[in-house]
Amino acid sequence: MKKYLTLLLLSLMTLASAAQVSFPNTSGGTLEVGEHRIAVITSSGIVEIENRAQFRVVAADLYTVVDNWSVHDRLSFSSNPYPFAKGEFFITNLSRGGEYVQADFTQAPLIGHPETNRIVEINSDEGEVVLINGQGKQTRWEIELSDLSMLEEWRKGDSILVGMNDNWCSCVFSSCPNILASYEAKRTILYLHATLKEEK
């Protein structure tokens, strides 16, 4: 009996250890640059994506998400530049015909996750930022000229979420196809407009 309990305890410890370092694949296929996939939806309006980053949906849009959205839906996020906006960003559900809600960025991506991008290089003179994800894939981004002064708020090692610059109001201010958002720097600057230059 004692031997059985010891084996059972060792098995449980092994499973627990594996759970701490494993990252379930929620991508469900290829995603375009700036797209993400829902990993968790809570009844309180938390939307968690594949790298554990979280958004909290504003109260007015809560039931749209809780009643209609599903785990594994494809989504993107974009800036919410409108005066008196209720949320920092728009989240658009690409799996449900572009239905969108307003939300705040409330939790950074998990450091070490394969899908988490971090800053490895900031070149202010060239207006470029280099990111690397947990799989070792690097991407080089050109920052919008008008946003360059805000690069000083970012630091090497910061986690970065890639979003879209695709709502009509945002496109008036920048022709860049994407935005980069740093949770660590969000108190001073929510995002920068950017264009992907290179992947390797």
pLDDT level of residue 12 (50, 70, 90 thresholds): very low
Burial of 186 (0-12, 13-18, 19+ CB in 10 A): middle
Highest mean pLDDT range out of 23-32, 68-77, 147-156? Answer: 68-77
Q: Whole-prediction pTM value?
A: 0.83
| Residue 73 and residue 96 in contact, taking contact as beta carbons nearer than 8 Å | yes
Q: What is the pLDDT of residue 87?
A: 93
| Residue 43 and residue 66 in contact, taking contact as beta carbons nearer than 8 Å | yes
Per-residue burial over 36-72, b = 16 or more CB atoms within 10 Å of its CB, e = otherwise: bbbbebeeebbbbbbbbbbbbbbeebeebbeeebeee
Residue type, 79: S
